[in-house]
Structure formats: C-alpha cells, structure tokens
Amino acid sequence: MAYYSQAHICQCLTRLSTLRANSVVTITGEGQKSGRQFVEEVMGLAGGLLRVGLHKGDVVAICAFNSDWYLEWLLAVAFVGGIVAPLNYRWSFEEAKSAMLSVRPAMLVADGSCDHWYPELQSNVIPSLKWHVFMGNSPPGFSSKSLNQLTAETIRKHSMISPVFNPCWAPDGAVIICFTSGTTGRPKGVIISHSALVVQSLAKVAIVGYSEDDVYLHTAPLCHIGGLSSALAMLMVGASHVLIPKFEAAIAIQVIEQYSVTSFITVPAMMADLISLMMAKATCKGSQSVMKILNGGGSLSAELTENAAKLFPRAKIHSAYGMTEACSSLTFMAVYDPTLQTSGENLQAFGSTHSGLSHHPQGVCVGKPAPHVELKICANDPSDQVGRILTRGPHVMLGYWDQKPGKGSESINEAWLDTGDIGSIDIFGNVWLVGRVNGRIKSGGENVYPEEVEAILLQHPGVSASVVVGIPDARLTEIVVACVKLRETWQWTGSRGKPFGENKPLLCSDILRKHCKEKELTGFKVPKLFILWTKPYPVTSTGKIRREQVRREVMSYLPSFSSHF
C-alpha cells in the first residue's frame, strides 16, 4: 500500500468557493474572476479531463506564461489524480524534448510561449502524448495526426463532475514534477507531493504573514518551485492573484500601482531591475501598498536591501534559502522590518561593502529553518562544525522521476536529503552557507551547471579546454565566466579586434557567445565573460580541476584579463 498524507492542494477550493465566493481572486490582463468563478473553471476542467480519459497518475506537461488558466489547470489535473509537469518556457526544443521524454506526459497544454519549438513536435516526437491543448491559435505550419488536439472549451463541455465528487491522489501522493538541472545540466524531474506543498505553504503563511487581504503579484514563473509554492500559499489563504505573463520591471511597477499590490517574491536580479527603474522614475505611488517581499534564488546585497527598504518603506523583507528537491524554502530570515528601529543596524551587521553580499567569515547567513524543516550538518571530521547541509521531513521530494529503487537517497521519506551545499549552524540556530559541493552557479535565480557549458564550448573547433566558474555579482548573485584555452592553430582577438598573432583563424567572446546560442544553450547559461587562459589549470593529485582555485584567480586578477572579454 502506497504511503502518503491525505493532504491535497485542492482542499483550498472550498475556501475559495465559500468565504471568497464573491471576491476577486484572479486578475489577468483585463479579466477578473471571483472565487466562485475560479472554482467553477477548475471543476469544469477536472470533469472534462475525466471524460476525455485522463487517469490517476497520468502526467500533464504545461508550457506557458503565467495566467489564471495556468492555476486552473494545475488544480484541475491535481483534482483528478494527475501529475503536473511544468516546462520552462525559456527552454530550447531539445531541453523541452528531453524533459518530456523523461516524464512521458499523456497531455501537453501550451500557449504562445513555446511557439519557437512547438512545430517540431510533429511526427510523434513524444510517443507518450495522447492529447494536446493549445491555448490560442496553433503556431503557423503545425499539423499533427498523431495528437488529439483539444481546446479548454471543448474539455469543459464534456465535464462530468457531480456535486459529491471528491479529489483523487496519484500514486504516493505525487502532484508535481518540477524540473531542476542535474550534474550534467539536463532537466531532472523532482517529484513533489501534496503534503510537501501544503506544509511549505503553511510555513510561508506563518513566517511571511500571507492572508486573504493580500493582493499577490506573480513575479516568479509558475514553472519554478518558488513560484508554485508561493502561488499555492496564496490559494490556501484566499488572497487575490495578479498575473502577468512574465516578469518585466516596467509592467510589474504598473500593476503594483494599478491594483495596490501588497506582496510579491523576487530574486536579486528582479529586485535590481525594480530598483533601477523606480529610481529612474523618481516616484511610485504603489510602493506604499507593498507590505511583504520574499526574496529567494540568492542573497540580497546590502545595497539592494537598503534601496528596497527606501522604495518599499512599509514592506517587511524576508530572504529564503531552499531548493527544488526540498519543495522551495528551507530557511527564512527577515532582512528588513519597518516596525523595528534596529533594522538598519542588522543590515550593517550582515552587509559587506567590499563584496556587495551578506558575507561573514562563517559564510552567508540564510536565517533559521522553517518550523517543519529538520536540518543537520554532516562533517567528515566530527569536531568540524562545517559540513554538508542535510534535511529531512514532509517537505522532501519523493524522489527523481526516473530514479531506480535503491539508487541515490534510499527511502527518501525517512533518509536525510543532501542539499549539495556546505555550511554550518550557529548556537542561535542560524544557518550559514559556505559554498556548494558541486560548483553549481546561481545566476539570476537560475541554476547553471559548469559541466554543461564546458561541453558546449568544447564543441567549437578553436577551443581545446574550458573551465566555467561563477563570480559574485550584486544584481545576478553570480555571473558565468568561461576560462578557455585555444588550439594552437587558432588565435584570440582583443577587445579592439586586434589579433594576438597572425595567419590563424580568429576567436573572440562574440564568436563563442554566438556558438553557444547556435548550440541552443539557454540564454542565462551563456557566459557573460570569456577569459583566455594561457597557463595550466590547477588540478588535484588525481587530475581533477580545482574549480574554486580557478574562481579565486579570476576574482584576484580580473582587471588584468579585461582586454580579453
């Protein structure tokens, strides 16, 4: 008998259809829906999905911009016991194809966000697909006899939901397959349970203080665990949702003013863009309405925090540390509280004007664990207080979608999950991050794995070797830097186009960036800087690259490389 909690994310529908029946709960563009209307849309979809033949445990892939119907599909699929697999709309076709071949969806629901790769789904590219729903007009040139193409309206017309119909569960209580990159950088499906999403939502409600009075702006994409978990927290309390297709600072500021937004989430790059535009604009009336900001995807610099506190003077700003495998946030820390006179002093204590990040000899403070989260440090030496950060509890993933039994973290519900991060826990319960085990780079809230970028660079005929590292950046948290070696038959051109040598093919930063894009490397993974590396890479006794040493050398000697960017 499969073990899972009776928690179900659709239990929020009762609150929405009763206590919030006549209140606006979604705003998308010019359209608004009350709680009753929203629930009717969800139930109509759920009944239609049963009618067309979707079964418990079937996977439904969704590739779309944020909208009210995205939330409706998420809940409708969950209601009938299906599993939602959100696809990142920023992916190339090869990345989307890899993800779908892994999870084998029975249905694909998409909008115009995937126009750039959607026509390539012809000729039964994804054999498991039985149905396709395209929200809007199908892209030009698309025709497929292998897919049963439906519309949301058609599905709702076939609804068979009865008043006494109850929600169903997929095996093991799974509800979401949220993709994260593995060590190779390719998408890996993380299986998230109803229970994990519910306890994560309750933690956000308790710590950040979300309530039915909130007007929540969806700044994070619903294909990311941060966007999903925060959306569910707001559905559970019955808040109003303002949905824009994707984050653009100008549009975000406009809707903050228009709808008196009270809360939203950010990553440092989003916050930097908001601050830059608001400072240029000189005024933003809506900033007075914002009461709660939750930052993830990397620490806010002291400068960003101070500017955010000035522009959103009534907002309590929290920072969170987490990961997809732990259903979003593990720890929380209040970095600014307008009700406390000591907020500025706390910022000074945690800030560092030299690095622009909240660094300390112990690492980076990310706050205390959420109430449902159990953490411990696993060090090689029992006397060492710094080691791998492990976690366990109802928030931990059920596993990776294609993980075989006994491989990796056995009995994941009982075992400790290795976060892949190195850190410590002080006597006050604060968690301090020191570094990452695998060299993962966090840039603009996205994970970048050096191995994937290095493999792409090595496909260029002029590159003989490459090492990719991340260096601190106040806006993006880290930027991707590639240290490349050239083959003897090639030469590097300087920033002014002058070659370092003669009678050889030329290579430069622009050429390598173009090469990465031609190889369909997603934009945020393309290195921002390229450095010509002319000496041996530092290696261990077994020949492995000392990536952290390369990173230190880049940071120490960056000015001397400036002519090579």
Per run of 10 residues, the mean pLDDT along the chain (length 565 residues) is: 69 94 94 96 92 94 96 97 95 90 95 86 84 74 62 77 73 94 66 96 96 97 95 97 96 95 92 89 75 88 85 94 94 92 44 34 80 91 83 95 55 75 89 78 83 86 90 88 91 61 81 92 91 85 73 76 43
**Pair 330, 321: CB distance under 8 Å:** yes
Question: Which residue has 């229970």 as its token pair?
Answer: 195
Report CA Rg, the chain.
Answer: 24
Query: Which token pair is 374?
Result: 């159990």
What was the pLDDT predicted at 147? 58
Three-state SS at 374: strand
DSSP 8-state assignment for residue 285: G
**Pair 504, 489: CB distance under 8 Å:** yes
Give the containing element (helix H, strand E) for 304.
Answer: helix 302-311
Residues 6 or more apart in contact with residue 394 via CB below 8 angstroms: 5, 193, 195, 196, 199, 372
pTM for the predicted model, two decimal places: 0.80
SS (H, E, C) 125-163: CCCCCCEEEECCCCCCCCCCCCCEEECHHHHHHCCCCCC
Sorted by where each starts, the structural domains of the chain and their CATH numbers stand as: 1-194 (3.40.50.12780), 247-392+408-438 (3.40.50.12780), 441-564 (3.30.300.30)
DSSP 8-state assignment for residue 534: -
Compute the distance between CA of residue 245 and CA of residue 113 in angstroms, rounded to an integer. 9
Compute the distance between CA of residue 108 and CA of residue 126 in angstroms, rounded to an integer. 10
What was the pLDDT predicted at 449? 77
Residues 6 or more apart in contact with residue 245 via CB below 8 angstroms: 65, 66, 67, 113
